[in-house]
Every structure is written in C-alpha cells, then in structure tokens.
Amino acid sequence: MLLDAHDSHLLLLDYQLRLLPSIHEGPLVLANAQRLAHLARLFAVPVLLTEENPAGLGATVPELEALVRQAGGKTFAKMSFSAVAAGLVECLRPSTPAKTAPQGNSRSLPKHLQKPAPAQTPRNSVVMAGCEAHICLMQTALELLDDEFEVWVVTDACGSRTERNRDAAFDRLAAAGAELLSTEMVAFEWLRTADHPALAEVLALVK
C-alpha cells in the first residue's frame, strides 16, 4: 500500500520552543518537519499543527509555524496528551451541515441551487510526526487507529528526549498497525512520477 496525497492529512505535533532543545537530534527532527510542511503545500495536503500546553512549553518554532501557515494549515492548542481528546477527529472529519431544500419553482433557481453539490470524499490517511514520540504522538496515533484512520508515522521527523523512548514508541505503533516511513518516502509517494510538475522542488527539498 502506497501513500496517496489526495487521501492524506498532515499532522505535526508540538514542535515548541521550550521542548525542542531537549529532544534527541532535535535540529534534524525540526528540519524534517519543515520539509513535510513544504511538501504539504506542494501537494495541497491539509495541515494541522498542535501545541501542547503553550503557556508551559511555548509557541511553535516560528520557522515551522510560518511554513504551516503558508500551506493553509491550522494550529490548535491542547492540554491532553492525545490530540484526539482535544477535538482532532472533528478537524479531520468535519461534519457537513444539513442542506435546506430550495423553495419555489426549481426552474427559476440558479444552477448551483438546482442540484446538490457532490459530497467531498473524506481523507482517511493521517501522516503524522511530532514530539514527544512516546507521549503525545503515540497516544494520538493509537486513538486515530481506534477511530479507523490509516496512520503513517514519519520516523525521522519524530523525537523524544531519549532515543530509547522514541524507539519504544515506534515498536508499539508498528505492532498496533501504524505504517512507519521517512520524510523522503512521503515525498516520493506523494510525487509518484518523474514527470510530476513538483519534481524539481521535491528534489531540492530532500537533497
């Protein structure tokens, strides 16, 4: 099974100013998160960014927050370790408001009111990365799996304070059914072909 950009969301968790300095390989983790945000913009993948207890851990690193904003992404704060408990599923699967039947002679109505617009196909794949891998990222991923999302964890954009905690999270997530992949794997699976118009930008990002 390959990752499909048209079925994907990107979820970036808790890349915050007071947390990242203590993360193992923090600069590399952040650089790959920034690459993912760039890729989301290139492939029109919706982006969500979370901040855990921002009063305590600070805001998102500004460079990443700016990239998410450029990609049209949204940021929401949370206090629960799992973003699902903070309303994540409602962001990923927004409810469609009930349509009111048009009144009067249908022939007199504008064309866009004569037939209901087709429903947008929901995206069911969540490509996710964040800190700390064994706490907020793992708890969110496990609950998304329970909610029947396909979960793809970008390992080289995830971090914990210790390598052991990070790797324990990956082991548990793989056993639970999450797909583990790298930033370059995301890039080339969203790209799919060498004649894609975004190829040159993708190559510049990953090299």
Q: Is residue 116 part of a domain?
A: no
Domain that holds residue 142: 5-93+122-206
Q: Is residue 107 part of a domain?
A: no
Q: Is residue 168 part of a domain?
A: yes
In sequence order, what are the beta bridge partners of 74? Answer: 48
Q: Is residue 38 part of a domain?
A: yes
φ and ψ at residue 115, rounded to 5 degrees: -130, 140
Rg (alpha carbons) of the chain, rounded to whole number: 19
Q: Is residue 45 part of a domain?
A: yes
Output the pLDDT for position 109: 53
CATH of the domain at 185: 3.40.50.850
Token pair belonging to 79: 């206090």
Task: From residue 70, give the alpha-carbon distance in Å to each of 64, 104, 131.
Answer: 10, 43, 22
pLDDT digits (tens, 9 = 90+) for 56-89: 999 999 999 999 999 999 999 999 999 999 999 9
pLDDT digits (tens, 9 = 90+) for 38-58: 999 999 999 999 999 999 999
Output the pLDDT for position 98: 45
pLDDT digits (tens, 9 = 90+) for 116-127: 554 567 899 999
Output the pLDDT for position 100: 46
Task: From residue 89, give the alpha-carbon distance in Å to each of 53, 94, 145.
Answer: 19, 8, 11
Question: What average pLDDT does the chain have?
Answer: 90
Q: Is residue 201 part of a domain?
A: yes
Q: Is residue 109 part of a domain?
A: no
- How far is the C-alpha of 86 from the C-alpha of 92, rounded, in Å? 12
Q: Is residue 103 part of a domain?
A: no
Position 147, amino acid:
D
Exposure string of 116-154, with b = 16+ CB inside 10 Å and e = fewer, is eeeeeeebebbbbbbbbbbbbbbbbbbbbbeeebbbbbb
In sequence order, what are the beta bridge partners of 48? Answer: 11, 74
The arithmetic mean of pLDDT across residues 102-126, rounded, is 62
Q: Which residues contact 200 (CB under 8 A, 6 or more apart)?
A: none
Number of domains observed in the structure of the chain: 1
Position 110, amino acid:
P
